[in-house]
Structure 1
């Protein structure tokens, strides 16, 4: 093979002869048959979408258990609630519960960038399978924890092992799907947060009702159930999830070639096991990645009122513990439906993501106002507001798809994905502290002011990204893309005319003059 072909084959990962055969020979230039591509895409979807969706749903289920467990004794068992001194009638503070909730995200935050390196360095499918098994083990170990300090430590280590899942799934989505396919597919697996909100509500209601006279505390049965299913699913994921399209066990040799070839126009490559410091430096100096980070943080401040304190807030509308479990489930439907709708629109309306983000922030903002200013004597008003809050998953999925579509270079992609999830953790760490349970009579104003400010901030950032991407695409449209020499001390370099080298050369979005930003 030529030098360029060898370079491309190497950067495709560990595909060996499959990558080499794709890069060299007539098969690389073969016309893509639309019918065959639809059949291949359907085959990929049939495997990946259930694997990613159920895995991501189980990750959400753990957090839903912790919220539901507050209705069934974990607050007293772990000494997470404290009566505020000198109050009459007594006022209970859940600041310790907020700290235990935030501990998960501290663990996630600490592990985010080391995990990004691990996901690039080792086989992706196998690594994710191992991490899911480990997280299931940590979930089950919750039942042996007996103190506030213990639950904080347990939540921290749970965050460490779960930090692999979301960034790993972003990488999976980018190496299997075209840019215009990614929003819908990311939306499908991310919507598991909504679907499993419904699932967890039904399951936890059944466990709560059926274990009232059991030998163990009700919340312990919830963790035993969730942990055991996660371990079993992790074993399946370890064997079923391919490391990349080139090594996929469920595709024929020709289908693997086609699966790689169809991604050429993404200009983001497939996979590289080489950690590149120059790409890391570029990521550290790229303004859009900092904007992605800030948007991720802002969007997930909303999670304090939806997940961390969702059960407590809805119960304060006047429902019993078991009723509250059931009343939480429609919020999951709102999450799933809003993600599906925006994903469908994005797939059909080119460059709509940065406009849809502000649009999808509006229901969240309205929901916060309804809970804050609504009359709680009529429970339907704050309850409807709570359901609207759950739509915040839609702008977050759009943000994830912006990152996958607009960042190239495997090291830089891994850094960008991790940056968003660092923001996710920062937002989730802040989130529980915005809900001050001592202000229940005032309808928790701090939480809703924070949500309103964050939605406005996210809207401004999205429109700023749109301006930046349009301006850069316009600038590149006026450039001569035949690069004939390098301006550093390396001397003249061969022209980057071969579209395959531009696509598979593991170039970043800034290095590749043919790259165009999606907005």
Structure 2
């Protein structure tokens, strides 16, 4: 009953925000065929830089954002970032040059750094490890829903005719206004932790905390711990995850190139805009299907299986003749399978890391990897490779294979560590831990604390087992 109540309160808010943040990010790509390039006198290289500066800013502010998420109330901090994000998005409409767009894209990247790590922290506080991957998948598949939403809105706006305000500007204003409303909803309704969740009764808060006891990772701790920070830096799986996420997210540059790619297959402006909704539908189905597959084959093999059709799609995009525009379109849709492994890794990351400071540090490092992949990706899409873009597709296809190799190494490492722990004797070090508590009348009492709520890291807690 508690889980259902948590789902009904958290999932709609998380899904609508993730939908809008992704819609806001890909609005640049949608605007590429709606006049933003001509109105701002952008070259192809400058357009690529607008994608890159978003992630350069994301890289610069990712760790400070994670520190802020540990120090301040998670829901309130995210709300403030969403508010600034919305204002910056609407400011796009006033831009008349590359410089103006560069600044607002930089601000968007700065704010983005709070959203995904904030969601990961809240998901780990309210759900068991078994439930987390599915919930992460649910809010991540809103990326596809965003493409559908934005495609339909853009199709409407390309039929507007106003000499002073162009279709891409209307798109920025509308998405910004909706995001502004979402920031208000988050401020008033999104919880900071189970302990302070107003939509739960005191008894239900206790039940939620007891439910996540099986995670062996605590609830929340606002104190930064140096030993956990150093452990995160020295843990091999931190860097394997970061390398995997960086390489897998080179493909994400396609999100701001997709309209140009499809348009150059030979489709008209109207057709390209509407076909963007199919991109979204494919993405929703792919992420939903691969996240459900985790239950049967585990995180690693679900990610590897996602890369198989992505590689096939990439090969077809390189080899099919240019006049076969329908074949190229379907090959492009098949390549969208490459998006699913990142969604899988987000849920997996929560399942293989414990300790609040360590978790926020690992989140920051891995999402910096996400930023690196997204920063490098746009530079492959050069004017000289158009209209077929064979070189970018060849690079992306190669990195899909490399990412599959890295994730398999990670699984092997975790499986060996689980086997090692299974062969160890029981560690009783944290079985009888007591903390001193001062009552309202001033008396001091000692209370026993369960190991599961001690904010131990996954390495120190030898009862912790890694999900594969």
TM-score tier (shorter): over 0.9
Shift in Å, 1:139: 0.5
Matched-pair contact (CA < 8 Å) for 1:483–1:496? no
Question: Which residue does the alignment assign to 1:276?
Answer: 225
Matched-pair contact (CA < 8 Å) for 2:242–2:369? yes
Question: Which residue does the alignment assign to 2:425?
Answer: 480
Aligned partner (choices 35, 48, 52) of residue 10 of structure 2:
48
Residues 137-158 of structure 1, C-alpha deviations (whole Å, 9 max, x = no match): 1101112222112211221111
Question: Which residue does the alignment assign to 2:101?
Answer: 151
Residues 163-219 of structure 1, C-alpha deviations (whole Å, 9 max, x = no match): 11011111111111111101110000000000111111001111121x233531211
TM (norm. structure 1) is 0.85
Give secondary structure in 1 for the equivalent of 2:96: coil
Question: Which residue does the alignment assign to 2:173?
Answer: 224
Correspondences of 1:71-86 after superposition (within 5 Å): 71-81=33-43
Shift in Å, 1:482: 2.6
Shift in Å, 1:499: 10
Task: Indicate yes or no: 2:363 matched with 1:417.
Answer: yes
CA distance in 2, matches of 1:78, 1:280: 44
Task: Indicate yes or no: 2:29 matched with 1:67.
Answer: yes
Matched-pair contact (CA < 8 Å) for 2:30–2:256? no
Question: Which residue does the alignment assign to 2:441?
Answer: none
Distance 1:343 1:500, change over 3 A: farther
Aligned partner (choices 306, 312, 331) of residue 360 of structure 1:
306
Which protein is bigger by CA-based radius of gyration?
1
Task: Indicate yes or no: 2:213 matched with 1:264.
Answer: yes
Shift in Å, 1:337: 1.1
Aligned partner (choices 67, 80, 89) of residue 139 of structure 1:
89
Question: Which residue does the alignment assign to 2:293?
Answer: 345
CA distance in 2, matches of 1:183, 1:431: 26
Question: Which residue does the alignment assign to 1:317?
Answer: 265
CA distance in 2, matches of 1:421, 1:168: 12
Aligned partner (choices 374, 386, 392) of residue 440 of structure 1:
386
Give secondary structure in 2 for the equivalent of 1:239: helix
Correspondences of 1:238-257 after superposition (within 5 Å): 238-257=187-206
Correspondences of 1:20-419 after superposition (within 5 Å): 39-81=1-43, 94-209=44-159, 211-213=160-162, 215-305=164-254, 307-346=255-294, 348-349=295-296, 352-419=298-365
Matched-pair contact (CA < 8 Å) for 1:482–1:496? no
Shift in Å, 1:500: 5.3
Task: Indicate yes or no: 2:380 matched with 1:429.
Answer: no
RMSD: 1.7
Matched-pair contact (CA < 8 Å) for 2:433–2:449? no
Shift in Å, 1:392: 2.3
Residues 334-381 of structure 1, C-alpha deviations (whole Å, 9 max, x = no match): 2111111122222x33x6111111101112111111211112212111
Unaligned 5+ runs, structure 1? 1-38, 82-93, 485-492
CA distance in 1, matches of 2:320, 2:125: 46
CA distance in 1, matches of 2:408, 2:431: 38
Question: Which residue does the alignment assign to 1:36?
Answer: none
Shift in Å, 1:407: 0.4
Distance 1:499 1:405, change over 3 A: farther
CA distance in 1, matches of 2:364, 2:284: 24
CA distance in 1, matches of 2:322, 2:451: 59
Question: Which residue does the alignment assign to 1:452?
Answer: 397
Aligned length: 456
Matched-pair contact (CA < 8 Å) for 1:364–1:455? yes
CA distance in 2, matches of 1:495, 1:236: 43
TM (norm. structure 2) is 0.94
Distance 1:428 1:499, change over 3 A: farther
Question: Which residue does the alignment assign to 1:517?
Answer: 466
CA distance in 1, matches of 2:456, 2:182: 36
Matched-pair contact (CA < 8 Å) for 2:304–2:404? yes
CA distance in 2, matches of 1:340, 1:499: 42
